[in-house]
């Protein structure tokens, strides 16, 4: 064991040759004979990235990598130089390869939809439309889903079964299928959600004849009529309102009781799904020729009408379809015969009243959200005086204004924004007798009766009267 220790100690004392120094010495001796392709060893050690390599030695891209790097650099330089020459010569535009900058390409101006200040104003215009058949006052007019207008029935010398269609595009009337029962006036026509028209009640043989309970449906697709369930009571001059759930509420009207004509307080509901009628709670007052409007919350406001004991009814009532009950609406200051003119765009309801002697008229606006009435500007005397419950018609225009017109007077326009009335500038009788409209003899003597006003899809209004019709264009022709 001691012998082995001595041998290892001797080995430790032997000089260890510096192998790396020997390699360097040998390389220096053969440096003159080294070729470019020989590998030259580099003394190992750490070097900062990006520092220059020792002179005479390749860096990180030595050898084949260096050749590739040089080739790529040359290609990049060629592309840059070539692109600059192309741009300078105009062969390439920078805007064709670069996205437009807001500072270089200004944004496209938006389309201006408002009328310029210097544009010429427009005025309303009226025109006569020929009408086929023998349409008489007391008929109804209903706007169909396809834009045509269905005119039904009428009275005078006799009740009519005929029906006509007005095409606002072609500007002409054509006959369509006839009803099963003649209806001389006082009937109602209601457009149902499925596109059919429900025509209910009316005088059997014309004005002054007993009412009827028959009801029928018009199908615009086939142009034909079919009978449906009859009303619980035979009635005419009632109101009919399409409810939010698709049913139809009929209220009031003239009925025969104890061999006499009376104003009815009864109401009933039509269900389109079953085609049947059921009675609902009665109103507090009997009403002949009431008017009604559907409110935004689903209730129905009923105003006006008359009975033998109370010729003019200012008290309004509200019907709730959910409970089937009637409640009094807040009282308002209207006097005389009152009727609902139109439901306004904001959900309020315009009511116009006229004293029976024609001395004055008034207008009230009912706000269902607040449950309050507000007095607005009084309509001019020409609007709705005399037989206010039956003469002339109202319609809400596309811009929110309300048009009233009969053929005796020029008509009036109500602006709900300003609360004022202005003339509609329509034809009058006899000043415009050259229009060629037929003369109607009424309780007021010679004059014209306006049956209906219907708002068309293009914003114009179709007005029907005895054997003729008019078109009102709120925009008119360019002055």
Residues 216-221 have a mean pLDDT of: 98
Rounded CA separation 30/403 (Å)? 116
Distances (CA, A) of 134 to 438, 464, 468: 11, 12, 9
3-class DSSP state for residue 66?
helix
Give the confidence band of 208 by pLDDT, cuts at 50, 70, 90: low
Rounded CA separation 427/29 (Å)? 126
Check whether 297 has a pLDDT greater than 80: yes
Residues 251-280 have a mean pLDDT of: 95
Strands 267-271 and 248-251: antiparallel
| Least reliable range by pLDDT among 174-183, 432-441, 460-469 | 432-441
Number of C-alpha atoms within 13 angstroms, CB side, residue 120? 6
Q: What is the pLDDT of residue 47?
A: 39
Do 279 and 271 meet the contact criterion of CB atoms below 8 Å apart?
no
Q: CB neighbours of 204 closer than 8 A, spacing ≥ 6?
A: 159, 181, 182, 183, 184, 210, 211, 212
Do 368 and 299 meet the contact criterion of CB atoms below 8 Å apart?
yes
Residues 202-218 have a mean pLDDT of: 86
Q: What is the mean pLDDT of the chain?
A: 75
Structure tokens at 131: 């009408």
Do 455 and 143 meet the contact criterion of CB atoms below 8 Å apart?
yes
Check whether 51 has a pLDDT greater than 70: no
CA angle 195, 266, 210 (to 5 degrees): 80
Question: Which residue, 358, 464, 351, is CA-closest to 407?
Answer: 464
* β partners of residue 415: 420
Q: What is the pLDDT of residue 43?
A: 44
% of the chain exceeding 70 in pLDDT: 60
Whether omega for the bond prior to residue 430 falls within 30 degrees of 0, making it cis, is yes
Q: What is the pLDDT of residue 450?
A: 57
* β partners of residue 166: 149, 173
Q: What is the pLDDT of residue 322?
A: 97
Residues 47-73 have a mean pLDDT of: 48
Check whether 42 has a pLDDT greater than 50: no
Distances (CA, A) of 172 to 144, 146, 246, 454: 15, 15, 32, 15
Do 349 and 340 meet the contact criterion of CB atoms below 8 Å apart?
yes
Does 382 or 117 have the greater pLDDT score?
382
Rounded CA separation 318/302 (Å)? 6
Residues 172-179 have a mean pLDDT of: 92
Rounded CA separation 477/397 (Å)? 17
Highest mean pLDDT: which of 76-85, 244-253, 358-367? Answer: 244-253
Question: Which residue, 143, 154, 130, 199, is CA-closest to 454?
Answer: 143
Q: What is the pLDDT of residue 465?
A: 75
Give the confidence band of 305 by pLDDT, cuts at 50, 70, 90: confident
Q: DSSP labels for 58-118? A: --TT-HHHHHHHHHHHHHHHHHHHHHHHHHHHTSS-HHHHSPPPTTTSPPPPPPP-SPPTT
Give the confidence band of 96 by pLDDT, cuts at 50, 70, 90: very low
Structure tokens at 121: 């104003």
In this predicted model, what pLDDT tens digit does every residue of 399-437 receive, in sequence order? Answer: 999 999 887 788 899 999 998 899 998 887 665 666 666
Give the confidence band of 379 by pLDDT, cuts at 50, 70, 90: confident
Residues 203-232 have a mean pLDDT of: 92
Do 288 and 253 meet the contact criterion of CB atoms below 8 Å apart?
yes
Do 162 and 131 meet the contact criterion of CB atoms below 8 Å apart?
no
Does 138 or 385 have the greater pLDDT score?
138
Sign, CA torsion 30/32/35/36: positive
Q: What is the pLDDT of residue 119?
A: 34
Rounded CA separation 236/205 (Å)? 12
DSSP 194: T
Q: What is the pLDDT of residue 335?
A: 65
Report residue 80: phi and psi, to 5°. Answer: -65, -45
Check whether 248 has a pLDDT greater than 60: yes
Q: Rounded to two decimals, what is the model's pTM?
A: 0.72
Rounded CA separation 294/288 (Å)? 19
Question: Which residue, 245, 230, 238, 294, is CA-closest to 266?
Answer: 238
Do 414 and 402 meet the contact criterion of CB atoms below 8 Å apart?
yes
Structure tokens at 239: 């109101």
Report residue 33: phi and psi, to 5°. Answer: -95, -5
Q: DSSP labels for 364-423? A: EEEETTTTEEEEEPPPPTTSS-SSTTTSSEEEE-TTS-EEEE-SSS--EEEETTTTEEEE
Check whether 309 has a pLDDT greater than 90: no
Check whether 187 has a pLDDT greater than 70: yes
């Amino acid at each position: 064991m001691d012998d082995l220790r001595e041998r290892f100690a001797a080995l430790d004392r032997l000089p260890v040759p510096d192998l790396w120094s020997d390699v360097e010495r040998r390389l220096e001796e053969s440096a003159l004979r080294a070729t470019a392709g020989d590998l030259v060893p580099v003394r190992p050690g750490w070097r900062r990235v990006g520092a220059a390599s020792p002179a005479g030695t390749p860096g990180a891209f030595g050898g084949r990598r260096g050749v590739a790097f040089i080739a790529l650099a040359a290609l990049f330089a060629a592309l840059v130089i070539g692109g600059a020459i192309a741009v300078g010569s105009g062969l390439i535009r920078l805007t064709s390869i670069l996205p437009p900058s807001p500072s270089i390409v200004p944004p496209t101006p938006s389309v201006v939809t408002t009328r310029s200040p210097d544009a010429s104003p427009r005025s309303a215009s009226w025109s006569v439309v020929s009408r086929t058949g023998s349409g008489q006052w007391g008929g109804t007019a209903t706007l169909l889903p396809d834009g045509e207008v269905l005119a039904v029935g009428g009275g005078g010398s006799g009740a009519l079964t005929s029906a006509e269609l007005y095409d606002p595009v072609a500007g002409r009337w054509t006959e369509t299928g006839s009803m099963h029962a003649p209806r001389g006036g006082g009937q109602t026509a209601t457009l149902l959600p499925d596109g059919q028209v429900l025509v209910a009640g009316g005088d059997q043989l014309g004005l002054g004849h007993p009412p009827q309970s028959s009801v029928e449906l018009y199908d615009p697709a086939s142009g034909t009529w079919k009978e449906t369930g009859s009303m619980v009571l035979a009635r005419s001059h009632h109101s009919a309102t399409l409810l939010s759930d698709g049913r139809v509420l009929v209220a009031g009207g003239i009925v025969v009781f104890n061999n006499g004509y009376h104003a009815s307080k009864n109401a009933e509901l039509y269900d389109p799904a079953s085609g049947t009628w059921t009675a609902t709670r009665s109103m507090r007052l009997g009403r002949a020729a009431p008017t009604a409007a559907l409110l935004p919350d689903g209730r129905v406001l009923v105003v006006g009408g008359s009975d033998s004991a109370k010729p003019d009814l200012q008290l309004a009532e509200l019907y709730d379809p959910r409970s089937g009950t009637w409640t009094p609406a807040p009282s308002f200051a209207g006097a005389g015969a009152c009727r609902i003119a139109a439901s306004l765009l904001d959900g309020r309801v315009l009511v116009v009243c006229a004293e029976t002697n024609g001395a004055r008229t008034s207008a009230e606006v009912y706000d269902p959200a607040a449950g309050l009435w507000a007095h607005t500007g009084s309509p001019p005397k020409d609007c709705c005086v005399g037989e206010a419950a039956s003469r002339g018609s109202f319609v809400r225009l596309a811009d929110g204004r309300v048009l009233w017109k009969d053929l005796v007077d020029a008509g009036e326009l109500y602006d709900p924004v300003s609360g004022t009335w202005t003339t509609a500038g329509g034809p009058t009788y006899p000043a415009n007798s050259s229009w060629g409209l037929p003369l109607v003899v009424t309780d007021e003597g010679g004059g014209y009766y306006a049956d209906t006003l219907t708002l068309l899809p293009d914003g114009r209004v179709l007005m029907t009267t005895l054997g003729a019709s008019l078109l009102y264009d709120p925009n008119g022709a360019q002055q």
